């Protein structure tokens, strides 16, 4: 099944944006958001998700088809997000992002960690015979810390993610999650979901996104004030049939992201 | 029965479609399954509907008034408490039994249409009425079988029940259609025989034909033939209310709205 492209100037679907932003849980949220937006699933006040049609009608990706199939009978909001995040369809999406070199293969990341630790260990050993080698130990450890903090999204991934904005409520979910905020509005409110429903999803800090304007790093999960001149690249204008919100381009998506469904790679 | 003379067009409230019910235009009243509600913590959606002034009518499925077992007064009490909690003008259940000998059938089983069975039903209904704070309406069920040695037609059976208990009737035109398909009930004769002046409201629901049997699933679209039975009923009497029942495979909001509109069109056709 072909991953649909967006109307905005990006080559990423909402699911892909969700995955790159905060991992498979967020991608599952984005897929669910697309289905709610299209009226293909309904969510009740107490968080029961049910497919509107019984034949996966309307699914445009395998992840969406998986959600529709799983929700033929009512299933809890958090359960469907987490089970979709752990599904084989989501693993396929992950592989697709790896193939496009938008994400780094976990094994390669782990190799880099071990390599830097091995270098540090080697320098310690050498330092006992030649103390000058001790100088390299903090450098190797800093390299290790930098590697750990990099996250699985590659430079290319960050580049393609940079212009993505919360142009509609589905992308708002992809970027900030159902329990995040955009332009001062709760994303869940854009879908008329109660807070008791969106809070079913376990909170998870989302990956940092580079600011498009000042080059400084600014995580969406961090406060706007820490970014100085602006936070993120999101223009934060979003709309839906039932509600809308808008704000200036410098506004901050902020708020805690909710990723659910486990790690990012 | 003051206060329910014109209920309008309604829909069965179910937790899976609570937001849909809240958003649908033209929902004049709702019905809740009494056994699914609990005193002290009504669903937020039901409370919201009540705040909007939408009548909420409790509908029971477990009183087993047609059974030979003693009526479980705790179930009757629960139904009454729900009625009081939602300020309902009336409650309802079915002309059926759902348990016998300590076993629950899981289905609404038809009552033998004999004088003896009617005596039992009348006694149970009177007992329930004495323990309920509001009037009771009773609904005809969809049957896949007829008990042997029936002495009365379904219409005659219900007419005598009404006469002896002063209960109200909840006529399910989908059940009537199902009985016409499956056991040869004549809907027109049924409507001729029941006291239409005691009609509380009407149920409409969807179903599906499987081979030779029509299943009243409440999970499929309402057939035009069922609307035809409603049309026949409306040509004889102005029903105080007509309610769409949907219990599974909930379609889109648009489709549900279309079914409500189709029901309203039939009702309005006869209102001139």
Instruction: Give the tens place of pLDDT for each residue, A146-156.
Output: 666 667 899 99
Classify residue B144: in a domain, yes or no.
yes
Contact criterion met (CB < 8 Å) for A45 and B253: no
Burial of B96 (C-beta count, 10 Å sphere; 0-12/13-18/19+): buried
Classify residue B96: in a domain, yes or no.
yes
Helix or strand or coil: residue A117? helix
Whether chain A has a CB inside 8 Å of the CB on B250: the answer is: yes
Tens of pLDDT along chain A (265 residues) come to 544 444 444 479 999 999 999 999 999 999 999 999 999 999 999 899 999 988 888 999 999 999 999 999 899 999 999 999 999 999 999 999 999 999 988 766 666 667 777 777 777 777 777 777 777 777 777 766 766 666 789 999 999 999 999 999 999 999 999 999 998 999 999 998 888 898 888 766 544 444 333 322 223 332 222 222 223 333 344 443 333 333 333 333 333 344 444 334 4
Contact criterion met (CB < 8 Å) for B43 and A53: no
Give DSSP secondary structure letters for chain B.
-TT-TT-EEEEE--GGGHHHHHH-TT--EEEEEGGG--TT---HHHHHHHHTT--EEEE-S---TTSSSPP-HHHHHHHHHHHHHHT-S-EEEESSEEEETTEEEEEEEPPP-SHHHHHHHHHHHHHHHHT-SS-EEEE----S---TT--S-HHHHHHHHHHHH--EEEEEHHHHHHHHHHH---HHHHHHHS-GGGEEEEEEE--EEETTEEE--SSSPPPHHHHHHHHHHHHH---SEEEEE--SS---HHHHHHHHHHHHHHHHHTT-
Interface ipTM > 0.85: no
The answer to whether B204 and B227 have CB atoms below 8 angstroms apart is yes
Classify residue B2: in a domain, yes or no.
no
Task: Give the number of domains in chain B.
Answer: 1
| Nearest-neighbour CA in chain B from A247: distance (Å) | 28
The one-character DSSP state at A164 is -
CA proximity to B42, closest of B73, B77, B81, B3: B81
Kindly report whether the global pTM for this prediction surpasses the value 0.80. no
CATH of residue B189's domain is 3.20.20.150
In A, minimum Cα distance to B248 occurs at: A73
Contact criterion met (CB < 8 Å) for A52 and B252: yes
Q: How many CB atoms lie within 10 A of CB B23?
A: 13
In B, minimum Cα distance to A44 occurs at: B16
Instruction: Say which residues have a Cβ less than 8 Å from residue A65's Cβ, sequence separation at least 6.
Output: A1, A56, A59, A89
| Nearest-neighbour CA in chain A from B161: distance (Å) | 39
Classify residue B255: in a domain, yes or no.
yes
Q: Give the whole-angstrom CA distance, residue A128 versus residue A264.
A: 40
Q: Which of A43, A48, A54 sits opposite B249 (nearest CB)?
A: A54
The answer to whether B236 and B169 have CB atoms below 8 angstroms apart is no
Classify residue B88: in a domain, yes or no.
yes
The answer to whether A163 and A216 have CB atoms below 8 angstroms apart is no
Determine the angle formed by the axes of helices B154-165 and B115-130, rounding to 10 degrees: 40
- Residues from chain B that touch A48, judged by Cβ atoms under 8 A, are 15-16
Whether chain A has a CB inside 8 Å of the CB on B182: the answer is: no
Half-sphere exposure at residue B96, Cβ-oriented, CA atoms within 13 angstroms: 24
Q: Give the whole-angstrom CA distance, residue A29 versus residue A177.
A: 7
The 10s digit of each residue's pLDDT in B142-163 is: 999 999 999 999 999 999 999 9
Q: Give the whole-angstrom CA distance, residue A189 versus residue A195.
A: 8
Residue B42 confidence (pLDDT): 95
| Nearest-neighbour CA in chain A from B18: distance (Å) | 6
Contact criterion met (CB < 8 Å) for A43 and B19: yes
Q: Which of B15, B18, B251 sits opposite A52 (nearest CB)?
A: B251
Q: How many CB pairs under 8 A join A and B?
A: 36
Whether chain A has a CB inside 8 Å of the CB on B20: the answer is: yes
- Residues from chain A that touch B47, judged by Cβ atoms under 8 A, are none
Q: How many CB atoms lie within 10 A of CB B192?
A: 13
Classify residue B3: in a domain, yes or no.
no
Q: Give the whole-angstrom CA distance, residue A195 versus residue A208.
A: 25
User: Which residues of A lie inside 8 Å of B (Cβ-Cβ)?
Assistant: 39, 42-46, 48, 50, 52-54, 74, 192
Contact criterion met (CB < 8 Å) for B16 and A50: yes
Q: Give the whole-angstrom CA distance, residue B57 versus residue B72.
A: 21
Q: Give the whole-angstrom CA distance, residue B172 versus residue B222.
A: 12
Tell me, rounded to whole angstroms, the distance of Cα B251 from its chain centroid: 21
Classify residue B1: in a domain, yes or no.
no
Contact criterion met (CB < 8 Å) for B15 and A42: no
- Residues from chain A that touch B15, judged by Cβ atoms under 8 A, are 44-46, 48
Instruction: Say which residues have a Cβ less than 8 Å from residue A249's Cβ, sequence separation at least 6.
Output: A235, A236
- Residues from chain A that touch B46, judged by Cβ atoms under 8 A, are none
Which residue range forms the structural domain that includes residue B213?
A: 8-269
What is the arithmetic mean of pLDDT over B121-149?
97
Classify residue B153: in a domain, yes or no.
yes
């Amino acid at each position: 099944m072909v991953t649909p492209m967006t109307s905005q100037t990006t080559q990423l679907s909402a699911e892909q944006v969700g995955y790159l932003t905060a991992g498979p849980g967020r991608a599952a949220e984005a897929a669910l958001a697309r289905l709610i937006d299209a009226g293909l699933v309904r969510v009740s006040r107490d968080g029961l998700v049910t497919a509107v049609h019984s034949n996966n009608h309307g699914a445009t990706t395998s992840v969406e088809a998986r959600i529709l199939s799983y929700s033929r009978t009512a299933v809890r909001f958090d359960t469907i997000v987490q089970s979709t995040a752990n599904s084989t369809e989501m693993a396929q999406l992950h592989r697709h992002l790896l193939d496009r070199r938008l994400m780094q293969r976990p094994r390669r990341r782990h190799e880099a960690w071990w390599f830097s630790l091995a270098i540090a260990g080697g320098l310690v050993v050498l330092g006992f015979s030649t103390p000058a080698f001790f100088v390299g130990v903090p450098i190797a450890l800093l390299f290790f810390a930098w590697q750990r903090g990099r996250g699985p999204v590659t430079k290319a991934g960050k580049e393609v993610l940079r212009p993505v904005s919360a142009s509609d409520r589905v992308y708002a979910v992809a970027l900030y999650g159902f329990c995040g905020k955009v332009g001062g509005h709760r994303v869940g409110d854009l879908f008329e979901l109660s807070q008791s429903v969106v809070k079913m999803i376990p909170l998870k800090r989302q990956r940092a996104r580079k600011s498009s304007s000042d080059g400084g790093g600014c995580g969406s999960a961090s406060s706007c004030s820490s970014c100085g001149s602006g936070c993120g690249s999101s223009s934060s204008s979003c709309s839906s049939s039932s509600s809308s919100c808008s704000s200036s381009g410098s506004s901050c998506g902020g708020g805690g992201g909710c990723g659910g469904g486990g790690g990012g790679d | 029965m003051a206060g329910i003379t014109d209920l309008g067009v309604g829909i069965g409230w179910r937790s899976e479609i609570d937001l849909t019910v809240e958003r649908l235009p033209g929902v004049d009243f709702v019905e809740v399954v009494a056994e699914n509600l609990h005193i002290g913590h009504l669903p937020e959606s039901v409370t919201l509907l009540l705040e909007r002034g939408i009548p909420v009518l409790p509908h029971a499925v477990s009183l087993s008034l047609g059974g030979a077992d003693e009526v479980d007064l705790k179930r009757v009490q629960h139904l009454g408490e729900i009625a009081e909690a939602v300020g309902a003008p009336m409650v309802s259940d079915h002309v059926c039994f759902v348990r016998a000998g300590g076993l629950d059938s899981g289905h609404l089983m038809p009552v033998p249409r004999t004088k003896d069975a009617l005596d039992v039903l009348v006694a149970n209904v009177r007992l329930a009425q004495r323990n309920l704070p509001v009037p009771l309406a009773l609904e005809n069920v969809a049957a896949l079988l007829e008990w042997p040695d029936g002495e009365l037609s379904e219409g005659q059976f219900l007419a005598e029940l009404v006469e002896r208990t002063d209960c109200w009737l909840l006529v399910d035109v989908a059940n009537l259609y199902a009985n016409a398909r499956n056991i040869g009930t004549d809907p027109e004769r049924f409507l001729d025989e029941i006291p239409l002046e005691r009609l509380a409201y009407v149920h409409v629901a969807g179903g599906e034909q499987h081979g030779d049997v029509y299943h009243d699933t409440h999970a499929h679209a309402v057939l035009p033939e069922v609307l035809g039975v409603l049309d026949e009923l409306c040509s004889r009497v102005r029903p105080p209310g007509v309610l769409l029942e949907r219990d599974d495979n909930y379609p889109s909001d648009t489709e549900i709205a279309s079914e409500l509109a189709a029901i309203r069109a039939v009702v309005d056709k006869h209102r001139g």
